[in-house]
Copies of this chain bind each other. A is one copy, B any other.
Amino acid sequence: MLILVTYDVAVSKPLGQKRLRRVAKVCEAYGIRVQNSVFECKVDATQYKQLQLALLDIIKESEDSLRFYELGNNYKNKVVHFGVKEALNVEEPLIL
C-alpha cells in the first residue's frame, strides 16, 4: 500500500535541524521524497509500523508534527501533480 508521510519539524528550536535530517533519512529508506516534507512510501503493514516507530523515535512530539495517510493499493488515479519535481514511480525500477 502507499503511505504518505508529511511532517513539520520545529527547526528553529534546539536540535530541530538534526531531527529534520534524521526524519528525512528514515523516510528515504522507505520511499521517495515528492516534496520537501512529503514522502510516498510503498510498504506492507509491518514496514508501515516500523516506519511509524522509527519516526516516533526521532520527533519531539511537543514541538513537531507528523502525519501518515493511507492511500491503499489503488492510488495511481488519486494523485495529481503540477509543477517541478514529479514523483518517481515507486513501483517501477529506477534506471540510473
Contacts and interface: CB of A to CB of B under 8 A. Distances in A.
Contacts of A67: 34-35, 38, 79-82, 87
Interface string A78-96: 1111111101000000000
Interface string A40-68: 00000000000010011001111111111
Which of A4, A68, A69 has the most chain B CB within a 10 Å cutoff? A69
Contacts of A28: none
Interface of A: 4, 6-8, 34-38, 52, 55-56, 59-72, 77-85, 87
5 contacts: A6-B35, A52-B80, A65-B81, A67-B87, A72-B78
